[in-house]
Structure 1
C-alpha cells in the first residue's frame, strides 16, 4: 500500500475511536497507508500513547494495512491542516474531549473541513450501514459542487453501492421562500420531475461522471424545499453524505451555511470536498 495516506485525528474520545475505525476501512478500500495523528497541548502533560494505541487497533482490524502513528504539539486545527497537505483524505470525529473536545461540532472538525486542501470526512452517527445504503451527494452547480460529485461517484464505485444525486429547488414566486436553513420545512418526497429546468441541469451535471463510472447506479432526486432538511433526511439511511466547500478570493476555503448545518445534523459520515486548486 503506497501513495498519499489517509490521515485520522485522535484524542482518546469515543468519537475519535469511531473515526479511526472508519478511516481504517477506508484506507484499506483505497489501498493507501493510514496515518494516525494525535495533537497534544503545547504545554502541560498529556498521554503520548493516543496515536500508538489507535494505530495498534487499526493494525489488528486490518493486519495487511500499513499504519503509522504521529504525535504533534500545538493547535489541533493547524496540525491537522498541515498533515492534510500531503494526504489523500483527512478523517476526524464529530466531537472530542480534552484539547480537541473543548473546542466545541467540534469546532476543530468544522474548521478542518472548511479549510483543508484535501477532502475531509467528519464521522457522525453510530449506525452500521447496510450493504445497499447509498452515497448521497448534494448538487448545486458550483465548481466545488462538481468536485463533490466526482468524489461521490468514486466513493459509490469503490463500495459498489448506488449514488443518490440530490438537487433541491425552490419556487422563487413562493412568498414562503427565504432562508435555506428553515428547519421547520420538511423536504418534499417528490422525485424525478422531468419538466423542470433543474432536471436538465442535474442531467448535465451527471452525464460525464456516469460515463466515467458506468457501474454506478444513479438515482436523481429533485425535491422542492430546502437543502439542509432534505440532505439530513437522506442521511438517515445513507453511508455517506457528500457536500462541497467553497473558495473565496482564490485562496481561503469556507464551508457554506448548508454544509455547516449538514455537518451538525447528519446521521452518517459527511465528506466535505474542496474545489480543485487553481
Structure 2
C-alpha cells in the first residue's frame, strides 16, 4: 500500500469533483494526495500581482492560491486522514500532468476544465493525458452508480490485460464486483489459418463465439485467484465494443479500458474505443496505459 495520487485542478466545478474522487482513491490506497495546478500565465509574461487600481486581494497569483486552497480544503473534508499536499507548476496542463504521472500510481482529472468549449464533452487535456500519461488516468465524468460493478473491457491485448489487472485491484479497494465485458464481431475477431486450404470456411459455425469465450476466461483466470474476495462475472456479446461498453456504463461505478486494443494501429496512442467512452460513458472512466504504482 502507499504511493501517490495526483489530481489536476483549475478552479472549475469539474476539477473540484475530481478532487473529491482523488481524495477517496488516496484513502483507499493509503496513499498521499498531491493537488496540482498548471500555472500557464508566468510563461506568457502576464503580470501576476494585483492591479494598482484594484483590490489588494486581486490578481492572478491570488486567484491561483485561492483555487488551490479551496481544492486542498475539499480534499481534506472528504478524506481527513489523507496526507494532502499541493504544487503550482509553471507550464501547460498536459505537460505538467504528464510529468507528474511519472511518479504517481494514478492521476485524476475532471472531464472538462475552465477552458472547455460549449458542447465539448471532454476537454483536450483529459483526452491527451489519457493517451500520454505514464500511469492510469481516471477521468471523472458523471458520478456513476455507487452500488454498481467496476466494468472492464476485455480484448486480449497487452493493454487490455493491464486494464483487467487495474479493474480487479480497484474493485478490491472499493469492495465492488467486477464485470468483464468482451464484444466481438467477425471483423475484429482474429481469424486463425485454416487447417485445410480447401475448406470453404476458416472457422466452422460457432467456432468464433467459443474462441471469444475462451479469450475472456483466460484473461480472468489469474485475477480471480489473486483477488478471491472480488466477485467477478463476464459477458461476451456480439456487437461493437464502444456501444457495448457505453451501454454497460449506465449501471457501473467505474469503467476501465486499455488505451489501445488489439485492433489499434501502430503508433496510435489512444484507440477509438477509449476515445469514444471518454466522451460518452455514463460513469467515471479509467484509461490504463502505464501500470503506475502497485496497489
- Whether the TM-score (by the shorter chain) exceeds 0.5 is yes
CA displacement, residues 95-149 of structure 1 (integer Å, 9 cap, x when unaligned): 0114xx369620000000111110100001045x333x10000011111100000
For residue 74 of structure 1, what is the aligned residue in structure 2?
91
Kept after mapping to 2: 8 A contact 1:246/1:275: no
Deviation for aligned residue 1:172? 4.5
Q: Which of 238, 251, 264 is 1:224 aligned to?
A: 238
Structure 1 unaligned blocks of 5 or more: 174-192
For residue 130 of structure 1, what is the aligned residue in structure 2?
146
| Whole-angstrom distance in 2 between the partners of 1:245 and 1:115 | 9
Between Structure 1 and Structure 2, whose CA radius of gyration is higher? Answer: 2
Deviation for aligned residue 1:246? 4.0
For residue 139 of structure 1, what is the aligned residue in structure 2?
154
For residue 29 of structure 1, what is the aligned residue in structure 2?
28
Task: State how many pairs are aligned.
Answer: 252
- The 5 Å alignment of 1:1-278 reads 3-41=2-40, 42-43=43-44, 44=46, 45=48, 46=60, 47-49=63-65, 50-98=67-115, 101=116, 105-127=122-144, 129-131=145-147, 133-172=148-187, 196-246=210-260, 254-275=269-290
Kept after mapping to 1: 8 A contact 2:255/2:286: yes
Kept after mapping to 1: 8 A contact 2:136/2:290: no
| Whole-angstrom distance in 1 between the partners of 2:77 and 2:290 | 35
CA displacement, residues 181-209 of structure 1 (integer Å, 9 cap, x when unaligned): xxxxxxxxxxxx99621111111111011
CA displacement, residues 40-68 of structure 1 (integer Å, 9 cap, x when unaligned): 22333432222222011111222211000
| Whole-angstrom distance in 1 between the partners of 2:234 and 2:136 | 23
After superposing the two structures, state which structure 1 stretch, 253-262 or 40-49, moved more: 40-49
| SS across alignment from 2:94 | helix
| Whole-angstrom distance in 2 between the partners of 1:234 and 1:158 | 21
Deviation for aligned residue 1:72? 1.2
Change in CA separation of 1:253 and 1:52 when aligned onto 2, cut-off 3 Å: farther
| SS across alignment from 2:35 | strand
With the length of structure 1 as denominator, give the TM-score of the two structures. 0.84
| Whole-angstrom distance in 2 between the partners of 1:65 and 1:253 | 37
Deviation for aligned residue 1:74? 1.4
* Root mean square deviation of aligned Cα: 2.5
Structure 2 unaligned blocks of 5 or more: 49-59, 189-206
After superposing the two structures, state which structure 1 stretch, 35-44 or 215-224, moved more: 35-44
Change in CA separation of 1:139 and 1:66 when aligned onto 2, cut-off 3 Å: same
For residue 187 of structure 1, what is the aligned residue in structure 2?
none
With the length of structure 2 as denominator, give the TM-score of the two structures. 0.79
| Whole-angstrom distance in 2 between the partners of 1:200 and 1:22 | 35
